[in-house]
Structure formats: structure tokens, C-alpha cells
């Protein structure tokens, strides 16, 4: 029995060392990748505390976190000056930052942080959630060269789809056109819309979590034309992943026959996670991890906040 206890203690120590190694490797700044750390009480850049989370992020109505923006700009100025000294152009497309967020932070805090980081000029973000430093996720934010200005799915339409997702109702083409008559949506490209356009969220219904998916299922058909955004609900996470696997496989088969509208919005390429601002990151983390398994990271995953 003492020998068994010794083995358990030994392997536990090995796991702790491995976890600490992953954490130290991620949290150590490099000249090319600043580290932003957002905790419940305060947030820092490269180990230096910049401000208080409650006052600068949580209580702010502004999408940009000003102290964080200023600190990242200082670092980026140094990077640009170094590139000039090396007679090299500063590569805005590949500029990268690392981000660690506490698992008890709200989605709103996370969203503001990635928005600020991207606005400064770091479109590539490596991020971890909570103490899980083993799983490092990637986020690729749209830049000027990848932006698409002719797309059927405007941000306002995504918010509308979220409302329909709450009630598990399909959103038909005629309902969308009715909104265009009111001038609320820009849908010049919508009649021939052929992107899969995968939206994912969850709600708590009578203390039970329900996962809801909205997508343009018609995009998976030959010679498709848009009719509606279909809604699917799942009470078990395993059923959600099974559905995603089936949809992804069908999308891959159809991809070669579809026209590409945006460099970052191929058929079946992007999944949008859409949540209210008060959802906690520890509840979103399992979805990010699952999507990562199916290849949805980098420019294949998008985040959207409804309020």
C-alpha cells in the first residue's frame, strides 16, 4: 500500500511539473508575441499590471479597453521600429499576441479584449482559458485584405437569427426580405447566398442546457438557392458533435462546386459562436475545445456578442 501511494504521488508530481511547464511557456513574453493576462481582479501585459478588470473592462460600455490599447500600441511601436532597423517591413497580417483569460470572466470581457487586441493590429491571437494551458487555441480576426463587403449575412441578421434560435424557429427568406423593406438590413447579395453559415449557441431551459444550431442547410444541395435558416437543438453535447461531423463531411463534398465569396468565409469553413455578454468563459470553453477537434480555429471560428 505505501508503494502504491508513492507511485500515485510520483505521477501527480510529474503532472504538476508538466502543467507548470505549459503555463510558463505560454505566459513568457517574446519580442514578437506580447502576453495579455485578464484576471477577475486585474489585467496585465507582459507581466505588468495595466488596470482593474471591474472598472476598465466590466463596467465600460466601450468596446475598446483604452489602457490595454495604449500598452499594446507601445509594444507594437517598438516592434515596428525594430523592423525598420532590420530593413524589413512590419507584417501586419502575421502580427500575433497571446491571451490568457480567467475561466470565470464573462464573454463580454473576453470579447472586448480580443476586439481591442485586434484593433491595435494583432489579428492573430493565441489564447487559453483558465488553468488549461495544454490547449492553446488560435483566433484569426478579419483584416482589411480579407474583409468581404458583399455578403448576405450582416451582423444585424446574426442578432435576428439569435432571437429565432431562442424560440427554435426557422427564419425564412420572406421574413428576411420583409426586414429589408424596412431598411434594417443590407442584403444585396442574399438572393444567391450559398454559404453554410453555421451559428452555435446554448440556453439553459429548466436547469437543462440546450445547444442550438442555425445554418443554411440549402447550401449542401446541388444547385442550391436560399430558402431559410434551419434550426436544430440538442440536449446532449455528444449529439451536437455528431451533427457537426455529419454537416462538415457533407460540406466538404460540396465545397468544390461552390463559388467563394470571401477569403475567410468558404462553405462550411466558419462557425460563429454567439452569446449574451454575461455567459462565463468556463461554459464556453468546452465548445471551443470541441470545435477545435473538428478543425474550427484560426479564421474558421468567429465570436459574436448579442448585447
C-alpha grid cell, residue 162: 439569435
pLDDT of 1 > 70? The answer is no
Question: pLDDT tens across 159-187, in order?
Answer: 889 999 999 888 888 888 777 666 656 55
Specify the range with the lowest mean pLDDT, choosing from 50-54, 168-172, 174-178, 246-250: 174-178
Rg of the chain on CA atoms, in Å:
21
Question: pLDDT tens across 67-104, in order?
Answer: 999 999 999 999 988 888 888 888 888 899 999 999 99
- Cα 155 to Cα 14, 160, 186, 274, 302, distances in angstroms: 47, 9, 10, 11, 12
Task: Tell me whether strands 228-234 and 171-172 are parallel, antiparallel or unpaired.
Answer: antiparallel
Supply the pLDDT for residue 142.
Answer: 80
Partners of 233 in beta bridges: 212
Write down the pTM of the prediction.
Answer: 0.85
Contact 94, 271 (CB under 8 A): no
Domain ranges of the chain: 2-140, 155-305
Supply the pLDDT for residue 118.
Answer: 95
Mean pLDDT for the chain overall: 84
Amino acid at each position: 500500500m505505501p508503494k502504491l501511494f508513492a507511485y500515485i504521488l510520483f505521477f501527480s508530481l510529474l503532472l504538476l511539473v508538466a502543467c507548470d511547464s505549459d503555463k510558463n511557456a505560454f505566459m513568457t513574453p517574446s519580442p514578437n508575441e506580447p502576453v495579455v493576462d485578464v484576471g477577475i481582479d486585474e489585467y496585465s501585459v507582459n507581466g505588468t499590471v495595466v488596470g482593474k478588470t471591474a472598472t476598465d473592462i466590466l463596467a465600460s460600455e466601450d468596446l475598446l479597453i483604452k489602457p490595454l490599447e495604449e500598452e499594446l500600441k507601445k509594444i507594437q511601436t517598438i516592434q515596428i521600429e525594430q523592423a525598420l532597423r532590420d530593413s524589413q517591413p512590419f507584417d501586419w497580417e502575421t502580427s500575433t499576441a497571446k491571451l490568457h483569460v480567467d475561466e470565470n470572466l464573462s464573454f463580454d470581457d473576453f470579447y472586448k479584449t480580443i476586439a481591442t487586441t485586434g484593433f491595435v493590429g494583432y489579428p492573430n491571437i493565441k489564447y487559453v482559458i483558465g488553468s488549461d494551458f495544454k490547449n492553446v487555441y488560435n483566433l484569426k480576426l478579419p483584416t482589411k485584405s480579407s474583409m468581404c463587403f458583399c455578403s448576405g449575412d450582416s451582423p444585424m441578421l446574426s442578432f435576428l437569427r439569435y432571437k429565432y434560435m431562442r424560440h427554435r424557429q426557422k427564419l425564412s427568406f420572406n421574413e428576411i426580405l420583409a426586414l429589408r423593406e424596412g431598411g434594417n438590413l443590407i442584403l444585396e447579395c442574399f438572393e444567391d447566398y450559398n454559404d453554410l453559415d453555421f451559428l452555435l449557441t446554448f440556453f439553459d431551459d429548466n436547469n437543462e442546457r440546450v445547444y442550438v444550431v442555425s445554418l443554411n442547410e440549402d447550401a449542401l444541395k446541388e444547385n442550391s438557392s436560399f430558402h431559410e435558416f434551419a434550426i436544430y437543438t440538442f440536449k446532449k453535447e455528444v449529439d451536437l458533435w455528431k451533427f457537426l461531423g455529419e454537416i462538415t463531411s457533407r460540406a466538404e463534398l460540396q465545397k468544390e462546386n461552390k463559388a467563394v465569396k470571401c477569403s475567410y468565409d468558404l462553405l462550411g469553413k466558419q462557425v460563429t459562436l454567439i452569446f449574451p455578454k454575461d455567459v462565463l468563459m468556463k461554459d464556453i470553453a468546452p465548445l471551443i475545445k470541441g470545435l477545435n477537434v473538428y478543425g474550427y480555429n484560426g479564421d474558421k471560428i468567429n465570436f459574436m456578442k448579442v448585447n
